[in-house]
Amino acid sequence: MLKKTLKKPDRLRFKSEFDRVRSDGTKLVGPSMLLVYADAPDSLLRCGVICGKKYSLLAVKRNRARRLLWESFRLLRETIPAKWIILIPRNRMEHRKRQEVTREMAELLTRANLIPPGSALPPEC
């Protein structure tokens, strides 16, 4: 069983890693987020979140969007194969609850064939 917390090796940290995923990856668009994924060269599942001032000028709103995406990724990562993933929130995420964000992320991952259709969401969803 995987650990429940996210550590530095679980995150994309360098600009070169984000650039690689953006250039080589596949983009999926949902109502409140964009998901970009690419094959992992190091065979580890890693994720990064991009939330700039285009999302909102208020840091409080940007930080909430980041927290929602990271928590949803943390809950779903046991079912995701080794890929590098970038998550980008859209303005519609502003009033969504964490459960809705997690469900949408699971739908996008299913559309990308990264998790099997109808796979069980965590009980927290």
CATH of the domain at 44: 3.30.230.10
Answering whether pTM is above 0.85, one says yes
Q: Report in angstroms the alpha-carbon separations of 24 from 40, 97, 106.
A: 11, 31, 22
Q: Which residue has the tokens 């987020």?
A: 33
pLDDT at residue 4, rounded to an integer: 77
Number of domains in the chain: 1
Residue 83 neighbours by CB under 8 Å, 6+ apart = 37, 38, 39, 40, 45, 114
> Has residue 123 been placed in a domain?
no
> Has residue 115 been placed in a domain?
no
> Has residue 118 been placed in a domain?
no
> Has residue 66 been placed in a domain?
yes
> Has residue 36 been placed in a domain?
yes
What is the share, in percent, of the chain residues with pLDDT greater than 90? 80
Range of 19's domain?
Answer: 13-107
Residue 74 has pLDDT above 80, yes or no: yes
Q: List 2's β-bridge partners, or say none.
A: none
Residue 95 has pLDDT above 70, yes or no: yes
- Are the CB atoms for 89 and 32 separated by under 8 Å? yes
What DSSP string describes 62-79? HHHHHHHHHHHHHHHGGG
Sequence letter at residue 85: I
1-10, 24-33, 116-125: segment of lowest average pLDDT:
116-125
